[in-house]
Amino acid sequence: MSDLRELYQEVIVDHSKRPRNFGPLEGANYTAEGYNPLCGDRFSVHLIVRAGRVEDARFEGSGCAISTASASLMTEGIKGKPIEDAEKLFGGVHGLVTGEPAEPPQVDLGKLKILRGVRDFPTRVKCATLAWHTMRAALHGEEQVSTE
């Protein structure tokens, strides 16, 4: 458990300081804006989806370390994946941070497993899931999502 905690800190710091896939995305055909009023995190998620696959994913906006790191990890996690897998990752991450695992079929979360560390900070769960909700809203054609 302490290993996970250490890794969690390390990955969160790394991804919040140097977010991957940060900035606008030219040619994005799916975009949504997410807002977490509890913390003030606000992100737009941009996706290029072709033939049922997420070809590219980027995000922009601002938020706390956890929301930024989670958004960064999210874009890395879904890039190149079929939409069904992006949805499965959403379910898996949501279960992981809330402690209510999605019913099987589960999905291999890989590096995203470290987000389990968020469970120690219940008030930050909405920070960690914001980008994921936003990504899902974009895929479902919703332009805005709030974690309230």
The contact set with Zn ion (CB under 5 A) reads: 39, 41, 64, 67, 127
- What lies within 8 Å, CB to CB, of 101 at 6+ separation is 92, 95
**Cβ proximity of 130 and 38 under 8 Å:** no
Q: Smallest distance, Å, CB 42 to Zn ion? A: 10
Asked if 106 and 94 count as a contact pair (C-beta separation under 8 A), the reply is no
CB of 67 to Zn ion, least distance (A): 4
SS3 102: coil
User: Which of 126, 132, 128, 131 lies closest to 148, judged by CA?
Assistant: 126
**Closest CB to Zn ion among 41 and 56?**
41
Residue 141 CB burial class (10 angstroms; 0-12, 13-18, ≥19): exposed
Instruction: Provide the minimum distance between the beta carbon of 131 and Zn ion in the complex, in angstroms, as a whole number.
Output: 11
Closer to Zn ion by Cβ: residue 63 or 92: 63
User: In terms of CB distance, is 28 or 39 closer to Zn ion?
Assistant: 39
67 versus 75: smaller Cβ distance to Zn ion:
67
Shortest separation between residue 128's beta carbon and Zn ion, angstroms: 8
- CB 29, min distance to Zn ion, A: 28
**Closer to Zn ion by Cβ: residue 71 or 127:** 127
d(Cα 107, Cα 109) in Å, to the nearest integer? 6
